[in-house]
Amino acid sequence: MAEVLENCRIQLRDGLTEAVIKSLLDDLRAENVLGTEEIEEILQKTKTRTDQARDLIDSVKRKGRKASEILLKCLEKRDEHLYKSLNIDRHLAIQETGATSSHIPITTDKPKTTDDVYKMDSNPRGLCLIINNKNFENPKRERKGSQKDVDSLGKLFKKLGFLVEIKEDQTASEIKQLMIDYSKDARHADCFVCCVMSHGDETGVEGYDEQTCPLNDITSPFDGDNCTSLIGKPKVFFIQACRGHEMQSKVLVADGSSSSRIQKSGEISYSIAKDSDFLIAMSTVYGYLSIRDSYNGSWFIQSLCKHLEEGSTRDQDILSILTKVNNEVSRKEGIIKINNDEIDAKMTPQPSFSLTKLLVFRAPKAAASK
């Protein structure tokens, strides 16, 4: 199990938030895995969140197999989404068979019953709203390359049978109002998809006016209380924006404001809606920058479009597709320029979900036969 922990090291290091690290340390103290002095050493104020995560992993790994098992069990309780993204069973299978391939198995088996899968046969399938903030009040903050993402998303979801609508350069209040308006739209069918691309920080995404629109203001209008027409239907949000100012660890641009701002600490300021059937796929983990190429678009959106288009022809569900996206994006490397300094670029997307069935996007038969 210690070997499994080592295999998951990078994902754990990049995915653990400060709040989860502290909760895990409390659990490990209660389980007598780590002592008070060891925990105080990990939580030194001079250490960054990344250093704390790294020291936590190393401290537990040194304790052996049982300690590693306890850590992973506690992680499943504290951050279920991160735990599932580690794909522990796959790592155990590789360990048992001696396999060395980094390839993630792809299932092409169709679900056995329609009860296992969300209905996706209306034409159009539903609405796909794309919000792209390319320009801002400060012209120096233009998000160059974002039109590539808009074009890729628009082409893909039209192919998948969605009615695509694009809104550009929206203020924070306009984004909030758009969500309310679309939640009341009479054209909802099998699924609602919303793609938001902008600058951002730990608290949400920025409008054209450089004010922040919290993620909860984007998702909550579509919960069961506010949007009855989508009860029991998937609500899917793809968010391309920075969630902080740290860089995970070649010229690219970061989807965030000046790196001189100080990262805020504490709990994540939003949570996934309590009602079921939401999928929120963030382009990066909490506290970190998100990478966008000035010519080729963002790492996350371009990988998403590629794998979703491929997967839709093979009846792959969206969570399997997003696992492939995570794998591809986390392996990319580059360099970004911040304040004329060149910094090594790495990132890992982070999906969260409360889906109750498999979500499989399929192109309508008429479109598929063209």
- Residues acting as catalytic residues: 199, 242
- Give the Cα separation of 7 and 91 in Å (integer): 7
Q: Please state the separation of Cα 276 from the chain's center in Å.
A: 18
* 254: β partners: 291
- The answer to whether the CB of 255 falls within 8 A of the CB of 291 is yes
Structure tokens at 2: 């210690």
Structure tokens at 263: 């990262």
**Residue 98: which region, alpha, beta or left (left: phi > 0; alpha: psi -120 to 50)?**
left
Q: Please state the separation of Cα 191 from the chain's center in Å.
A: 19
**Residue 357: which region, alpha, beta or left (left: phi > 0; alpha: psi -120 to 50)?**
beta
HEC secondary structure over 285-338: CCEECCEEECCCEEHHHHHHHHHHHHHHCCCCCHHHHHHHHHHHHHHCCEEEEE
Question: Which of these, 64, 16, 66, 57, lies nearest to 38 by C-alpha position?
Answer: 57
Burial 233-248 (b: 16+ CB within 10 A, else e): bbbbbbbbbbbbbbbb
3-state secondary structure of 156: helix
- Give the Cα separation of 335 and 260 in Å (integer): 18
3-state secondary structure of 85: helix
- Give the Cα separation of 349 and 227 in Å (integer): 28
- Give the Cα separation of 198 and 142 in Å (integer): 10
Maximum separation of any 2 CA atoms in the chain, in Å: 66
Q: E strands within 133-203?
A: 163-168, 191-197, 200-201
- The answer to whether the CB of 266 falls within 8 A of the CB of 248 is no
